[in-house]
Chain A
Amino acid sequence: MIKLRANKRLQTTIRNQVLWTRFGSKIGRPVAWVTSGSPVEIVLAAGFIPFYPENHAAICAARGMSQDLAEQTEAEGYSRDLCSYFRVDVGSQISGRTPLGHLVPPDVILVSNNICGTVQNWFRVTAERFNVPLLFLDTPFNDAAPTEADVAYVREQLVHIAAEVARLGGRRVTEDRLSKVVLRSRDALELWAEVLAMAAERPAPFTSFDAFVHMAPIVSMRGTRRCISYYRALRDEVRERMKAGISSVPDERARVVWDNIAIWPVHKQLKKLFEQYHVSLVGDTYTSAWTVEHLEPEDPFTSLAKVYTDIILNHGAAHRVKVLSNMVRKFDATGFVLHSNRSCKRYSLGQFGVKTAVSSATGATGVVVEADMADPRSVSFEHLQQRLVPFFETLGASG
């Protein structure tokens, strides 16, 4: 198993990003806390430094801090049935504990309900705690694709949000400034898409276990030049591996795709289990959510309105069947894993139906595993193994 050189680079990049956020806020740059599906390009164009609480919660979970932080939030009376990212992030706000040293408080919060309804309440609570304005972007749920009326409705809000962030301490967001940021976002998204697409090669030079980790900059740094140079280097390295025939798992015997967020508390153990059975996790619906097409710098407000309304979680199960089936075909997989994520109802709803539909559309075998993205109390590695091992054996892989 040859490790990616980019792993080191990722650490440096994230550390620099944390330092930049801290430094920037000290020299008077305003800070915006945003959801992963927020049109961050607008706050960037206004000169804000963005911070991603969801990303922060994932880092806490991967570092083994999530249970402790979640319990802080539960002690304030919040139910354990609520989203674990919410509980972890708020627990960090309450206790002040974070793997990032300390949190830089927001000057403004930007939320969109395109990923779920939970973030609306999560950030209302957060806005009250820090006593800062909350900007909210409402995106209509899609039956098929966003209609013209949907796009017009969302565009109008974006223009309003741009004016608000300028009023709340930022620069004026001109179309020109916004276009530049959108272009930088697009370049990074394209490079990321290129990286992910290379997993279609046999053997796969890069897997979703790598993607789950290397997605951090595309989530939290898109729209910046550093993000582009990060993915250019990653793309070049993965391309090198592909040309040299270097496989991410030793002696690849089966290829599988994944639905839903990673299981951070057992991420490394799970990666090892896949390697032990020589199974490549070649694609997933989660990290590929940041490979949107049609991000155009020409009419940035309209383009952003389309893209941020059209994301996978803002669609029903039929769309997920389509995305997953295409992925099975594109990556030449014979199986797929559906992570029924206790913390993400929006992502997990209808998975048994999705499983049947994807199987009959592609002939691939599916398995549903129950876990949680961040709360180790709802994750049993034994259970995951009980489901995955017979699934791997069915695909002809053995340990």
Chain B
Amino acid sequence: MTRVAGLDIGSTATKCVMMEDGRVIASVVVPSMPDMRVAAERALRECGAEGIPVLTTGYGRALYEARLAQVSEITALAAGVGFVAPVAATVVDIGGQDSKVVRVEAGKVVDFAMNDRCAAGTGRFLEVMSRVLHIPFEEFDAVACDEVEPLPVTSTCTVFAESEVVGLLSARHPPARILKGVLTSVCGRVASLGRQVGVKAPVVATGGTMYSQAVVRALSNALGVPVAVPAAPQFVTATGAALLCARRVAADVAAAAV
């Protein structure tokens, strides 16, 4: 009975997944801010994963010093997808600080493209727009439903798009149509990122933003292929980290036996 944990210290949320003998037995998400180090310790505590081997990933991965090892979130994401959706050939992840498209094969990275220099095309863009439109993320699905026709919103820059949205609001356009335009814009940007590595079906989407069906639909439309979302899209990277942790522990045990 070996317990291990994967800790994904992201820019917005810190996710912890605990595994035992290849099964996920607990998972927890806490906000990363204001102190990522405190968030990491809190996530481990709430998950009941204190004192067991931990492998960290995410932007804050170096902040948790008691880790067994650390890997980049791309590697952890690929490992996690290999576990929750082994048939996937492409993973699209829209995170708080970046978005990424990863071509995978059996839990390993084949190629990847990332947008980490600009907030347009990331969860941050959605956060900003949600605030301007006064529509909380939880209400996206109810507002940006199928019947609504999107209004064009550019995807060059979050700051410019924000003033664009303010302009649309002051011209008395319905917020639902603007929100749909915002989703189309973000997903269009991610789709162009995908074309850098080639989007091969089946496509799986991960990250906290995928809890919204409206986002998933907009992404499918932009990519032109159906997108599947695993049961806990926010925890895929942390799950991958836990798996890599288990592998590391097993390798260490084997090495010690020799």
Contacts and interface: CB of A to CB of B under 8 A. Distances in A.
The finding on whether chains A and B are genuine partners in a shared complex, rather than unrelated, reads yes
Interface string B62-75: 00000001111111
A370 B117 contact: yes
B75 A393 contact: yes
Interface residues of B, number: 17
A393 B117 contact: no
A389 B116 contact: no
A387 B109 CA distance: 13
A391 B102 CA distance: 11
A398 interface: yes
What does DSSP make chain A's interface, helix, strand, loop or mixed?
A: helix
Given A352-B196, A365-B111, A393-B109, A383 B116 contact: yes
Contacts of B116: 383, 386-387
Nearest to B117: A383
A390 interface: yes
Given A352-B196, A383-B117, A390 B75 contact: yes
B112 interface: yes
Nearest to B70: A399
Contact of A387 (B75, B114, B196): B114
A326 interface: no
A395 B75 CA distance: 11
A398 B74 CA distance: 13
Given A352-B196, A365-B111, A393-B109, A380 B72 contact: no
Nearest to B102: A390
A121 interface: no
B109 A394 contact: yes
B196 A390 contact: no
B71 A393 contact: yes
Nearest to A388: B72
A138 to B, nearest CB: 36
Contacts of A390: 72-75, 109, 112
Contacts of B73: 390
Interface string B53-95: 0000000000000000111111100000000000000000000
Interface string A361-399: 000011100100000000010010011011101100011
Contacts of A365: 110-111
A106 to B, nearest CB: 39
Contact of B71 (A380, A383, A398): A398
B100 to A, nearest CB: 9
Contacts of B70: 399
A391 B74 CA distance: 9
Interface in A90-122: none
Nearest to A391: B112
B75 A386 contact: no
B111 A393 contact: no
A353 to B, nearest CB: 10
A389 B62 CA distance: 13
A142 B218 CA distance: 45
Interface in A235-280: none
A241 B188 CA distance: 52
Contact of A393 (B74, B98, B196): B74
Contacts of B72: 386, 389-390, 393
Nearest to A382: B116
A359 B110 CA distance: 11
A359 B113 CA distance: 14
A111 B70 CA distance: 50
Nearest to A386: B116
Interface in A286-344: none
Contact of A394 (B69, B75, B98, B196): B75
A366 B110 CA distance: 10
27 contacts: A352-B196, A359-B111, A365-B111, A366-B111, A367-B112, A370-B117, A380-B117, A383-B116, A386-B72, A386-B98, A386-B114, A387-B116, A389-B72, A390-B72, A390-B74, A390-B75, A393-B71, A393-B72, A393-B74, A393-B75, A393-B109, A394-B74, A394-B75, A394-B108, A394-B110, A394-B112, A399-B70
- Which 10 A-B pairs have CB atoms at the shortest separation, nearest pair first? A390-B74, A390-B72, A393-B75, A394-B109, A389-B72, A386-B116, A390-B75, A393-B72, A352-B196, A383-B117
Given A390-B75, A391-B112, A399-B70, 19 more contacts: A365-B110, A370-B117, A380-B117, A383-B116, A383-B117, A386-B114, A387-B114, A389-B72, A390-B74, A390-B112, A393-B72, A393-B74, A393-B75, A393-B109, A394-B75, A394-B108, A394-B112, A398-B69, A398-B71
